[in-house]
Structure 1
């Protein structure tokens, strides 16, 4: 009998060989696959301890100035590692500089301020439009070769921002303003990487985001690795997305574990007229070896699709209790093309819908109409942005095509698949290969062309087949 230690080593070797073979195969198939992620890391090791700059680890003292002073001194000396003594540090917005690795050690917790004044307003993009919005808790803006790493915790303490949102939403919905409430109630993101390159986020635990947790915007060659996101602490916050990749390219996300109350891993590229004006795609993205738990979508494309989303490979993913598994969503004012998407080796257990593709998502949120009693000339600038019409209307019609799903294994879902294109924009060329979906009911396909199930089965408990309407070239 083989020695147990030798057997374990043999099994590990087989896994490593298997992963290596898969990586080589993907590199052969996609010539850009190994070009994603940060290509450079802060190389200076000189230490800068925030406590030497006056930071106090009592969880009560506001440490923004002390921590920022350490970051600035580090950057001025050509870079290095900014670190903390063990303890809890209360802070507002911090701005990481080129060459700096903000290292949050295992016994360190950063606590986000619950006072909005500690997050200065700045121009940015939020939920698909450019507007003034609070800075994030941790910001990397216009920088190169920077990092935020360590096995510590960033607890954003976002619950007061959730509560402010729900109060305002209840009021706004009564007035026909559901479409603007998400933009009027300012809530800080936890980490923002914007207009930057060669940035690494690694091994952190992120808790209770006030809004989106990690937002990668207008950037390239970014790595998010080994992040644990736990936003459903003491409630369920609105729009607490896990990782949002927004009009960015050559992005690598791997070994992450997300529990949130909105989309877990999400790709975006702008909303409506403003997104079409900016017209920057999200492209060349790899998401691998990661888990979604509670949340709106294991991997979501949209609903902000205006700049296009293309060249995406996502593989070796798990959904455990997620609302939707593979989710594609847009609206008839978004425009943009989502194409060349490859989703492989995905396991789901206890999800709502395994595959969802639709062009008319959440109308009360997606379509902006100014109710009677408002003067269009006197509303805030971001309202005007949202109210700007796409001209001609045809520019607002999105396109979803060339989506490949291979080896999807679903243990339990409420619905297997729902595809809803439009008369003016059929969902095109969806191929589902070598997959098995156990489900309560099959679902439906409407306005689609070329949906092919190849060596794949859907097993509905209710015995009802997937209904098909206004479509062609649908093959089960």
Structure 2
């Protein structure tokens, strides 16, 4: 008698019975509303000649607008140079079509401020655009915001063409002693080579970081503890570090943005949404030097103490070109993440597609993540990727620390559903590597079609369901390999008949791998059980 597959999934935990949101009940995000009063920066002495600093003009218009109850601060068409500017409540900073707002390369114009670096308090140069504790703010229009990031960033020789490298050297700066990396200044070089910390730990004040100021690259747009935030229509490009960093915000909308950074931009993320709730990212295009759309919530103990998960989010109708991941969670996710819906997105040429990363020490729970209708092409590495060993250097023999210790620093990734994920071209279709003491658990794949050199590789997983999955490996046998996996169920699997091995199971902890729905008999040579895995690990007809 055949089992009711949906009932099996529900009873074994593959379907959450108490999810706060569902596809039929998506989170609602409130949008800011502004008065129509307009304050042109021309009326405050603004000059679009490309060399006059307009910091005072833009700031005065923003302050005046906010004091009079809010409205629109207009930046007309033209080339506008500015130092860092601070937003105020009830202000919509609007860049008209043809407006190019570029930020000065004079680093003395950027005061040192208390900010955050990868979830921890740190000294930073003030961001070109920032705001803290504001309500009802926006950056809109069809103009361009350029952070002049090349003046701030290091770059490796291998990331540039020969002519680009020669041009970079001619621009000034200094080289690493081995000649393989370019730095914008000697101060930057010393901070990088000596691995100086930017963290604001007890006993450290901002003035203590003056000697490494050049090293403290600012994010382009940073909004902290703000409510009702809208970024719409503009191009944000060439940031010194991350492009968009909303931190501890509520009711956040990123809509119809073009976010660009050079492929060689170190830490050149598109949008890092950290400890925010009720957010929407839609209709945006990303082409960046690091993760494109990234979910974060603080790092290690500091993130756990903050205790603010990123939650109740929608990510839809976005296009990602170059990036280290199309949609990403981690690795700074110590406050957790939940109830996030990702759908109708295209990833083309990214390093990875859907990317989830963490490591021991982070802690945090990432759960109730749902993705469907994600279409990928020419992914350089994995289409779907989970790794709980992010930035861990393994021993030279390749063995991992198998210590089964669970504590507050143990990250948990669970309860996710991936539906109609299609990829044509990748190194691996699926890679999941959990921890021996905390497997990646309760992940369901439905109607996915993945064409990659390698089908799927699962390590330290529990309760993984493949429901009508089509894996088309093009090079490597087996179609699927499982090491120390438990409760892995195949409700349907389509694969190339030419491959000798469907499934290879290893590891003494492997058990309850159910292929009874596949019509494969126990004497099949297409199932290989080896390297310590029990002979009873795979259930077959």
Classify the secondary structure of the residue corresponding to 1:66.
helix
For 2:487, the equivalent position in structure 1 comes to 473
**Structure 2-normalised TM-score?**
0.74
Partner of 2:412: 399
Matched, 1:266 2:294: yes
For structure 1, the residue ranges without an aligned partner over 5 or more in a row are 1-25, 365-391
Q: 1:34 to 1:428 in 2, by over 3 A?
A: closer
| 1:282 maps onto 2:310 in alignment | yes
Q: Distance in 2 between matches of 1:463 and 1:178?
A: 44
Task: Please say if residues 58 and 89 of structure 1, whose CA atoms lie closer than 8 Å, have aligned partners that are also in contact.
Answer: yes
CA separation in 2, counterparts of 1:331 and 1:436?
Answer: 29
How far residue 170 of structure 1 moved from its aligned partner, in angstroms, is 7.8
Deviation at 1:406, TM superposition (A): 0.3
Q: Secondary structure at the match of 2:302?
A: helix
Match of 1:33 among 21, 26, 29: 26
Question: Would the aligned equivalents of 1:333 and 1:393 in 2 still touch at CA under 8 Å?
Answer: no
Larger radius of gyration between Structure 1 and Structure 2: 2
State the shift of 1:160 in Å.
Answer: 1.7
CA distance in 1, matches of 2:148, 2:192: 26
| TM-superposed deviation, 1:360 | 1.1
Distance 1:170 1:135, change over 3 A: closer
3-state secondary structure, aligned to 2:334: coil
2:383–2:430 contact (8 Å) kept in structure 1: yes
Distance 1:279 1:198, change over 3 A: same
Matches of 1:153 and 1:416 in 2, distance apart? 37
Query: How big is the shift at 1:126?
Result: 2.3
**Structure with the larger RCO, 1 or 2 (CA within 8 Å, 6+ apart):** 1
The question of 1:135 aligning with 2:126 is answered: yes
2:313 paired with 1:313: no
Q: CA-to-partner distance for each residue in 1:107-136, whole Å, 9 max, x for gaps? A: 100001222332222223221112232222
Alignment equivalent of 1:149, drawn from 140, 150, 163: 140
Q: 1:398 to 1:231 in 2, by over 3 A?
A: same
Q: Assess, with a 3 A threshold, how the Cα gap between structure 1 residues 179 and 140 changes in structure 2: closer, same or farther.
A: closer
Q: Distance in 1 between matches of 2:348 and 2:113?
A: 37
| SS in structure 1 of the partner of residue 312 of structure 2 | strand
Q: Give me the whole-angstrom Cα distance separating, in 1, the residues matched to 2:295 and 2:31.
A: 21
Please give the secondary structure, in 2, of the residue aligned with 1:65: helix
In structure 2, stretches of 5+ residues that fail to align are 1-18, 157-180, 200-208, 394-404, 491-541
Q: CA deviation at 1:453?
A: 1.1
Cα distance between partner residues in 2 of 1:408 and 1:269: 26
Alpha-carbon offset, residue 466 of structure 1: 2.1
Q: Which residue of 2 aligns with 1:333?
A: 361
Cα distance in 2 for residues equivalent to 1:114 and 1:173: 20
Shift of 1:86: 1.8
- 1:98 aligns to what SS in structure 2? coil
Which residue among 375, 394, 397 is the counterpart of 1:347?
Answer: 375
* Residue of structure 1 equivalent to 2:399: none
1:92 counterpart = 2:121 = no
Distance of 2:428 and 2:255 partners within structure 1? 31
Q: 1:416-440, CA deviations, whole angstroms, 9 ceiling, x for partnerless residues?
A: 1111111111100111101100001
Q: Give a deviation string over 1:177-196, Cα, whole Å, max 9, x none.
A: 49979x97311111112110
Moved more, 292-301 or 107-116: 107-116
Query: In the aligned structure 2, how far is the partner of 1:178 from the partner of 1:101?
Result: 38
Q: 1:53, 1:132 → 2: CA distance?
A: 32
How far has the Cα of 1:51 moved from its partner?
A: 1.4
SS at match of 1:35: coil
User: For the residues of structure 1 that align with 2:268 and 2:218, how far apart are their CA atoms?
Assistant: 10
In structure 2, the CA distance between the partners of 1:173 and 1:361, relative to structure 1 (3 Å rule), is: farther
For the aligned residues, what is the CA RMSD? 2.5
Provide the aligned length of Structure 1 versus Structure 2.
Answer: 419
1:226-241 alignment runs, 5 A limit: 226-232=256-262, 236-241=264-269
More helix by share: 1
Shift of 1:164: 7.8
- For the structure 1 residues 425 and 202, does the alpha-carbon distance in structure 2 shift closer, same or farther, using more than 3 Å as the test? same
Quote the offset at 1:80 in angstroms: 1.2
Matching of residue 363 in structure 1 with residue 392 in structure 2: yes
Change (3 A) 1:237 1:97: same
CA distance in 2, matches of 1:86, 1:180: 38
- Hey, what does 2:46 align to over in structure 1? 55
Q: Is the 8 A contact 2:155 2:265 kept in 1?
A: no
SS at match of 1:71: helix
Would the alpha carbon gap of residues 423 and 170 (structure 1) be closer, same or farther in structure 2, given more than 3 Å must change?
A: farther
Q: CA deviation at 1:31?
A: 7.0
Could you tell me whether the CA contact under 8 Å between 2:21 and 2:27 is conserved in 1? no
